[in-house]
Chains A and B, each alone.
Chain A
Amino acid sequence: MDLRFSLAHATDAERSAVDACLGPPTSRWDGGERVGTEESRTASSGHAARARRDLLLPALQAAQRRVGWISEGALTYICERLDVPPAEAYGVATFYSLLSMTPRPRRVLHVCDDIVCQCRGATAMIAELERAAGPPLGHGPHADHVVLDPDAPQWIRSPCLGLCDQAPAALLQVAGETPTDKLFGATTAAELQAVLRGDDRIPERAHPTVPQAGAPTLRLLSRMGVVDPMSLDGYRSTGGYLGLRRAFEIGPTGVIREVLDAKLLGRGGAAFPTGKKWDAVARQPTRPHYLICNADESEPGTFKDRALMEGDPFALVEAMTIAAYATGCAHGYIYIRGEYPLAIERIEHAIGQARLRGLLGEHVMGQEFQFDLEVRRGGGAYICGEETALFNSIEGFRGEPRNKPPFPVDFGLFAKPTVVNNVETLVNVPWIARDGGAAFAAIGTAQSAGTKLFCLCGCIERPGVYEVPFGATLRDLITMAGGVRGGRPLRTVLVGGAAGLFVRPDELDIPLTFEGTRAAQATLGSGVIMAVDDTIDIRALLVRIAAFFRDESCGQCVPCRVGTVRQEEALHRITLRRMRGSVADELALLGEIGLGMKDASICGLGQTAYSAIESAINRLHLFEDAVAP
């Protein structure tokens, strides 16, 4: 294409980081030096360069991770390499919160101030940090803070980091030749200051919290904390790869039949029958088919997928291999949120080990079946967990959801039939392939088969990932986790995350099944169970949820782009007692805004942005005292 590039040059460091991601340039036409004289007259590699558009986000991340931000020179070089218009690449780069287009120091600490961390003292911790370390790095439209000293560390407020079992949490990113990302859990302001100063003795928190570790009844968590997640032999000696072996025996249609018999429903929130999805893709004559594992777990309060990837990475690799075999995919992607460094490291290690042992590659287990996996790292965007936004993100475009129909099974990644499954959904698959669908469906309820992972967090005695057969009630789960922290009275439980609902303490007998929550007009969502006791300011949680949706809206459709802003403004006015009219007027306005977002937004983000707030108003009657004269 006839593109116009800036004259800004990438530094050697930026160039080498990008080349490490894309490989060295082969000619002048993809950003290299001119070779010979013919090159001045012929252009032959444009199509080849553009065909690698999907490497745009990885290349941007490489530059960001090398120097801490993306300079004009770095962006230009990436655009030259991939033949991408600079305006488009800028549009993509500015979409992700972990990428910065203005100078940032090399050492940046992202401190979570989201709802779960708020329940565990983050508000006071951040206030203390701010007193000691100064205000957070300029962010948003009202602070055009420019940092010139790359060696002066800075901190930033962050949405949920998915470390809710060890809240309050923070993520350290250090750019450099060997960039490092570290998660800190159960942290304090003093510890964070030490981390900021460059103290490397502060321990990265080690493992996911699995209070049930070692219990014999576990299916999904059976290896957690028991088997070394870095050892393929450990995995194989505990039943690993028996599922894939049996899959090869019964063939692709046999696998799909077992998954249908298992009545496995998607665990990402939508509860779509997995077998149906697989069958639809398997039958598509169009090739290739793609398989994607959606590991962009960003729903506030959710950490089960991180736990699975950190604690049992080979299970996901095996599960994807089985899924790919059943649906005729030769290439799969695992899209892991960028805030999960340990999960990324372990999954990449597991993929490497599986390749070495012939469990991925040209002849998987010696069979006539080829499959390989690639990890893609998210850039800090909740919306990329929406499956069609995820496609756009992988393809190198802005992570904006697509309108459906067409559905991914017809028209997905690279416009090909695509299977997208959540991590937890997939991790059920090796068990189903090995022991059969009927055995799988033997536990749980008639409509919700098998077991489910729940993320117990907030004001709870023993936060962590819990696995129970479908049918357990909210009360059972809270009891398993030791009840409310310190024996305090329970005020409310947020079920399903920021896009879920608040329920009252008298509703704890809701069975946590797909049909049970539906009957109670609630949702399982991503399996979040956040307990809130009487010490917590629920209104502050609501304001944070509203701010979250405002921050994370992609901005594509009007109801969500402006509705999330108007919703936050109205809530803010109520909490500050600066209403336009009465509280009842503001609540009515919120209801109208919420209904507009729910009915007219393109994707689930806008459609659910009001649900938690609505439940606080209508189920908890949170503002009733304020409405009374």
Chain B
Amino acid sequence: MTAPAALVQLTPPRRSIELQIDGEAVSAPEGTTIFDACRQRGNVLPTLCYLETLHPVNACRVCVVEVENSRVLVPSCSRKVEAGMVVHTDTPRVRHSRKMVLEFLASSVDLSTTPHVSEWLADYACHPERFGPPAPPAAAGVRDAAHAGHHAAPDPEYAATVHQPTKLDNELYVRDYRKCILCYKCVEACGTDYQNTFAIAVAGRGFDARISTEFSIPLPGSACVYCGNCIAVCPTGALMFSSEHDRRAAGTWDESRQAVVDTICPYCGVGCTLSLHVQDNEIVKVTSPFDVSITRGNLCIKGRFGWQYVQERPGAGSGRGQRNGVPRGAGDQGDGESGRVGKGGGNGRDATSPADSPLGKRAPG
């Protein structure tokens, strides 16, 4: 990911702050976070909940560092540098906390599609299995119904997990909350940081906290506009394109065979950059670079999902009953799907009925 230095500087120049990081004198502009000051020295601290395009929530606590004279460790992603600060990024105390946090997550959440995490687990000598074998998945809806307060006594055989069936309630993306680490990024992207749609929020409390719509209703009944900006910021693959989810389930997802091609979205005049992820000459998902100042990684439903028309070919699946060439239902473990997309408005139509699109008849490039 490129640093936001590529963005146009609109603020006045800032004072320089002198501090010490890992024994070396460092100067950083006022307002820089410890995380950025470290990164500028080439020391990229591990983090899961931080993304430069969102407000830091400092919830994952993977990026903690030791600051002298601070009683507890501080989150480097949100703490700003201060003059005279003495920071240590790799002390035994820091390493212990990172190890525990990574073990806590790896023992309760499915991190199989989280980038970098296997290296970190090895780096910090994590043994998440020492808390016990992971508890079997909860039945659908059980975690969604958890009430704040008293809970059942733990089962001494297992380590509690957030495992549960994948939520498959629309054709465009899946919500697999067994992979959710509650980094709050999707809520921020859906809320005031970008989309202002507020379809999802954190509900419940403690270990029963979860990302949820109101009354955990399925997405088609919610305020979701399928912009997919939550998928773009999800660090663990809990939110995933159906096209990716289905291919992974079918065993045909192969990033080594994928090319990423940048282009400009053809739909409107904003001109968002699209990064098309192409495998076997088929678009399998669409992202947008975070460092392009037009939308900073955000798209709308059309740019994110409205690309089937590019690959409509005679003889290929019609799109009905199939998702991007993969038979519907492959890998589904939930309660089936509603088959409904969007709220029946024009936006939804673009995504599901490519033939209706003004560009729908164009031959693939």
Is B132 engaged at the interface, CB distance under 8 Å to the other chain? yes
Whether B58 lies near A598 (C-beta < 8 A) is no
Cβ distance B295 to chain A, nearest Cβ, rounded Å: 19
Whether B72 lies near A380 (C-beta < 8 A) is no
Whether B205 lies near A381 (C-beta < 8 A) is yes
- In the bound assembly, the distance between CA atoms of A1 and B191 in angstroms comes to 11
Tell me which of B62, B96, B204, B215 has the highest count of chain A C-beta atoms within 10 A of its own C-beta: B215
Chain A interface: which of B139-147, B165-173, B299-307, B308-316?
B139-147
List chain B residues, Cβ under 8 A from A102. 145, 147
Interface size band for B: 35 or more
Is A617 engaged at the interface, CB distance under 8 Å to the other chain? no
List chain A residues, Cβ under 8 A from B138. 141
Whether A381 lies near B130 (C-beta < 8 A) is no
List chain A residues, Cβ under 8 A from B203. 87, 90-91, 94-95
- In the bound assembly, the distance between CA atoms of A232 and B62 in angstroms comes to 54
Whether B149 lies near A599 (C-beta < 8 A) is no
Known A97-B148, A561-B182; contact A568-B154, beta-carbon cutoff 8 A? yes
Whether B132 lies near A569 (C-beta < 8 A) is yes
Digitize B101-119: 1 where CB-to-A-CB distance is under 8 Å, 0 elsewhere: 1001101100000000000
Whether A569 lies near B160 (C-beta < 8 A) is yes
List chain B residues, Cβ under 8 A from A97. 147-150, 205
Whether B75 lies near A403 (C-beta < 8 A) is yes
List chain A residues, Cβ under 8 A from B204. 94-95, 555
Is B240 engaged at the interface, CB distance under 8 Å to the other chain? no
Is A100 engaged at the interface, CB distance under 8 Å to the other chain? yes
Instruction: Identify which of A398, A405, A569, A596 contacts B159 (C-beta below 8 A).
Output: A569
Whether B156 lies near A578 (C-beta < 8 A) is yes
Cβ distance A594 to chain B, nearest Cβ, rounded Å: 10
Chain A interface: which of B192-200, B244-252, B278-286, B324-332?
B192-200
Is A462 engaged at the interface, CB distance under 8 Å to the other chain? no
- In the bound assembly, the distance between CA atoms of A100 and B146 in angstroms comes to 10
Known A3-B223, A551-B206; contact A565-B108, beta-carbon cutoff 8 A? yes
Tell me which of A140, A141, A156, A556 has the highest count of chain B C-beta atoms within 10 A of its own C-beta: A141
Whether A553 lies near B100 (C-beta < 8 A) is no
List chain A residues, Cβ under 8 A from B160. 565, 569
Is B355 engaged at the interface, CB distance under 8 Å to the other chain? no
Number of interface residues of A (CB under 8 A): 73
Chain B interface: which of A426-434, A471-479, A600-608?
A600-608
Closest to A594 in B: B100
List chain B residues, Cβ under 8 A from A563. 100, 104
Digitize B56-89: 1 where CB-to-A-CB distance is under 8 Å, 0 elsewhere: 0111111010000000110100110000000000
Whether B64 lies near A600 (C-beta < 8 A) is yes
Whether A561 lies near B206 (C-beta < 8 A) is yes
Is B209 engaged at the interface, CB distance under 8 Å to the other chain? yes
Cβ distance A161 to chain B, nearest Cβ, rounded Å: 13
Digitize A544-588: 1 where CB-to-B-CB distance is under 8 Å, 0 elsewhere: 000100111111111101111110111011001010100000000
Whether B97 lies near A100 (C-beta < 8 A) is no
Whether B100 lies near A144 (C-beta < 8 A) is no
Is B41 engaged at the interface, CB distance under 8 Å to the other chain? no
Digitize B168-187: 1 where CB-to-A-CB distance is under 8 Å, 0 elsewhere: 00000000000001100000
Whether A572 lies near B214 (C-beta < 8 A) is no
List chain A residues, Cβ under 8 A from B191. 85, 88
Closest to A554 in B: B205
Digitize A158-199: 1 where CB-to-B-CB distance is under 8 Å, 0 elsewhere: 110000000000000000000000000000000000000000
Across the A-B interface, give the 4 residue pairs with the lowest CB-CB distance, nearest first.
Answer: A596-B100, A85-B198, A555-B209, A97-B149
> Which residues of B pack against A, CB within 8 Å?
57-62, 64, 72-73, 75, 78-79, 93, 96-97, 99-101, 104-105, 107-108, 130-132, 138, 141-143, 145-154, 156-157, 159-160, 181-182, 191, 196, 198-209, 212-215, 217, 221-223, 343
7 A–B contacts from the bound complex (CB under 8 Å): A140-B150, A140-B208, A141-B142, A142-B142, A157-B150, A578-B157, A600-B73
